[in-house]
Amino acid sequence: MNMLDLIIKKKKGLSLSKEEIEYMISSYTAGKIPDYQMSAMLMAICFSGMDDRETADLTMAMTDSGDRLDLKRIDGIKVDKHSTGGVGDKVTLIAAPVAASLGVPVAKMSGRGLGFTGGTIDKLESIPGFRTGISEEEFIRNVNTDGISIMAQTAELAPADKALYALRDVTGTVDSIPLIASSIMSKKIASGSDAIVLDVTVGSGAFMKTEEEARKLASCMVRIGKLADLPTRALITDMDEPLGSLIGNSLEVIEAIEVLKGQGHEDTREVSFEIASQMLIAGGKASDREEALRMIGDCISDGRALKTFRQFIADQGGDPHVTEDLSLLPKARIEEKINSEKDGYVEKIHCDMVGNTVKILGGGRQVKGEEIDPAVGVKLLKKKGEQVRKGEVLAYLYANDENKLKEAQKLIAGAFVIGEEQPERGPLILDIID
């Protein structure tokens, strides 16, 4: 077998056999296939696709490329949560402590930013002292004592995905259903939870641009979960504008803390609580959505969810006082207003442009492994459907570098579409597939 033949086969739109997929993944992980050949294969998959059987085989080959985490030392039904990516998506920072405070053990591995979307690990690392590179022992101990731990994907867990994820990020090969489904599900299967709740985002700030594509991706992952004996449910959520009002690493931690205190943006609350409610149902703590939402309301208003978040930060070396004193989080030096050039209504906010604005400011990576700036980002003052007057502030940019700010200003100005008619706002939760 050789990689060149496989690239040509996929380019012609033919299916790869299980053996061919296993050869490709194990050889690439062992460093026997160069990045340029794997990049060509990824591009061929983007154009030619993969059928369900190939996607399931790719998932299992990636799962088997490394270790599987054994979570049997944790009692209870461990529920994992994963988003297909978004802009301003701080849902994990809220849903995980909420579910943990209500008795669902959360032992979660998370990733860094990808493309124009942010990553939970980068956000958590904006908390002074917070360690995401903890050992498996510490991870399990934290879940057993405080019900929650989130760590960076280890090199031993699905190493094929780790390598492919970084390669896809810099070769324009992220937005392919089989590649996203196998990337997510290989990590989820290897990380040992008993059930998964997936947040499949759709819109200009997501990898899936249409509801049809999002449904295909959600169904594909639910089917892979079934084949792997891992109960999986997926929510389809709107990501046509950024979630909530703050986008950027430490800024999203701020919004998450606000929501855990019963404040924060209503859109962030809605999506986070809906995901948390599915985690409670999957974890056997609530029998239906209504009961789950009631329980969530209680743990927010009596402070249990915030207390769990604070304990989680302290367990992983972070400064828990950030929950009371937001000024302890990294803060950008420059605050710049973006004003509306005319009267009207916000017709649309190009979500990918907002994500790229944060990236340009330094909040995301342009090349593999780059350092990021945790303090920079965007605050949206106006969202879709809101009325604006000429000169009114649409958004604030937070920057630490004048040149990056200039570039970001140009991009964010084009992200807002101001029209004469007030547009309708659609639902945020489009469907639940299980």
Tell me the catalytic residues: 82, 161, 168, 183, 187
Nearer to ligand URA, 83 or 323 (CB): 83
Residue with the shortest CB distance to ligand URA: 183
Q: How many chain residues bind ligand URA (CB under 6 A)?
A: 8
Question: Who's near 119: CB < 8 A, 6+ residues apart?
Answer: 110, 111, 112, 113
Residue ranges in 113-142 that form contacts with ligand URA under rule CB under 6 A: 114
Q: Which of 173, 183, 232, 268 binds ligand URA (CB under 6 A)?
A: 183
Q: Roughly what angle, to the nearest 10 degrees, separates helices 249-260 and 266-282?
A: 70
CB of 215 to ligand URA, least distance (A): 17
CB of 362 to ligand URA, least distance (A): 22
Q: Does 87 bind ligand URA (CB under 6 A)?
A: no
Q: Does 7 bind ligand URA (CB under 6 A)?
A: no
Q: Does 180 bind ligand URA (CB under 6 A)?
A: yes
Interacting span for ligand URA (CB under 6 A) from 57-65, 175-183, 224-232, 397-405: 175-183
Interacting span for ligand URA (CB under 6 A) from 179-187, 289-297, 378-386, 414-422: 179-187
CB of 302 to ligand URA, least distance (A): 34
CB of 370 to ligand URA, least distance (A): 18
Q: Does 60 bind ligand URA (CB under 6 A)?
A: no
Q: Does 237 bind ligand URA (CB under 6 A)?
A: no
Q: Which of 88, 111, 118, 203 binds ligand URA (CB under 6 A)?
A: 111
Q: Which helix (H) or strand (E) holds 232?
A: strand 232-238
Q: Which of 150, 184, 198, 254 binds ligand URA (CB under 6 A)?
A: 184
What Å distances lie between residue 176 and 105, 112, 335, CA to CA? Answer: 32, 19, 37
Nearer to ligand URA, 129 or 133 (CB): 133
Beta bridge partners of 344: 388
As a dihedral over the C-alpha atoms of residue 159, residue 275, residue 310, residue 115, rounded to 10 degrees, the angle is 40
Using DSSP's 3-state secondary structure scheme, residue 208 falls into: strand
Nearer to ligand URA, 213 or 407 (CB): 213
Nearer to ligand URA, 20 or 169 (CB): 169
Which two structure tokens, joined as six digits, stand for 150? Answer: 């989130």
Nearer to ligand URA, 52 or 291 (CB): 52
CB of 145 to ligand URA, least distance (A): 28
CB of 85 to ligand URA, least distance (A): 4
Beta bridge partners of 292: none
Q: Does 29 bind ligand URA (CB under 6 A)?
A: no
Tokens 């985690």 found at: 279
Task: From 315, 295, 308, select the one nearest 257 (Cα to Cα).
Answer: 308
Query: Would you tell me how many other CB atoms lie within 10 Å of the CB of residue 270?
Result: 16
Question: Who's near 2: CB < 8 A, 6+ residues apart?
Answer: none
- CA 351, 354, 357 angle in degrees (round to 5)? 150
CB of 106 to ligand URA, least distance (A): 17
Q: Which of 85, 244, 318, 364 binds ligand URA (CB under 6 A)?
A: 85
**Burial (Cβ within 10 Å: 0-12, 13-18, ≥19) of residue 36:** exposed
Q: Which amino acid is at 351?
A: C
Q: Does 160 bind ligand URA (CB under 6 A)?
A: no
Which two structure tokens, joined as six digits, stand for 273? Answer: 């609580």
Nearer to ligand URA, 213 or 386 (CB): 213
Nearer to ligand URA, 181 or 295 (CB): 181
Q: Alpha helix (H) ranges present in 248-381?
A: 249-260, 266-282, 289-301, 304-315, 351-358
Q: How far apart are CA 25 and CA 13, in angstroms?
A: 19
Question: Who's near 205: CB < 8 A, 6+ residues apart?
Answer: 86, 87, 88, 116, 117, 239, 240, 241, 242, 351, 352, 354, 355
Q: Which of 55, 63, 65, 84 binds ligand URA (CB under 6 A)?
A: 84
Q: Does 248 bind ligand URA (CB under 6 A)?
A: no
Nearer to ligand URA, 237 or 323 (CB): 237
Question: Who's near 41: CB < 8 A, 6+ residues apart?
Answer: 3, 6, 7, 10, 24
CB of 156 to ligand URA, least distance (A): 17
The residues that touch ligand URA, with contacts defined as CB under 6 A, are: 84-85, 111, 114, 179-180, 183-184
